[in-house]
């Protein structure tokens, strides 16, 4: 990858993270479902963290020192919200708009693919590790969205998902 292509890719990554933040923040404000709202708020905050990390690199300031930190544990945060409601309260939860989750999954896949491309084309091992850490975070974001989406919209589908990709504690 040429240096110019790399710079363009980093700019696209910054833009994707900003779009993700804006989208998640807007959707969190509209969400009536507390589970969906908590996931969207957490994602909005993490997209800003990603943007700042990538922006630092794009502006030539080098890698962020904390890039190996995979960020907050999304599953733990969502589980806390989930378990704060009774089973009866959770029965009334529905997905407000499946398009929100579908678009969110698309955003996370795009970000993952871009970071994968950057990691694969990097000759610098630290930079490669940085992009791989962002790939892991985007993968965790996607997993979070998928779990909430399938739990709210298609409980039967959610139960059929490979157990390694499903938050089994939601099955209480």
Q: How many domains does the chain have?
A: 1
Report whether 48 contacts 13 (CB < 8 A): no
Span 68-114, pLDDT tens digits: 665 667 778 777 877 887 877 777 676 556 788 889 999 999 999 99
| Model pLDDT, residue 38 | 84
Query: The domain that contains 101 carries what CATH number?
Result: 1.20.1260.10
Span 22-33, pLDDT tens digits: 999 999 999 888
Largest CA distance in the chain: 56
**C-alpha span between 7 and 3 (Å, rounded):** 6
**Residue range(s) defining the domain that contains residue 84:** 3-170
Structure confidence at residue 51 as a pLDDT band (50, 70, 90): very high
Q: What is the pTM of this model?
A: 0.78
Name the 3-class secondary structure at 73. coil
- Enumerate residues 6+ apart whose C-beta is below 8 A from 117: 1, 9
């Amino acid at each position: 990858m040429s240096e110019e292509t790399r710079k363009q890719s980093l700019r696209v990554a910054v833009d994707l993270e900003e779009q993700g933040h804006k989208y998640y923040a807007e959707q969190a404000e509209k969400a009536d479902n507390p589970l969906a709202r908590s996931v969207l708020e957490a994602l909005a905050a993490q997209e800003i963290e990603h943007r700042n990390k990538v922006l630092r690199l794009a502006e030539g300031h080098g890698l962020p020192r904390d890039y190996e930190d995979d960020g907050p544990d999304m599953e733990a945060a969502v589980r806390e919200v989930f378990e704060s409601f009774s089973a009866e309260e959770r029965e009334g939860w529905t997905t407000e708009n499946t398009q929100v989750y579908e678009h969110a999954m698309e955003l996370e896949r795009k970000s993952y693919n871009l970071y994968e491309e950057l990691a694969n084309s990097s000759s610098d091992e630290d930079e490669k590790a940085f992009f791989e850490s962002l790939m892991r975070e985007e993968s965790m974001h996607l997993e979070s969205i998928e779990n909430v989406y399938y739990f709210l919209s298609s409980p039967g589908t959610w139960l059929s998902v490979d157990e390694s990709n499903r938050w089994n504690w939601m099955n209480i």
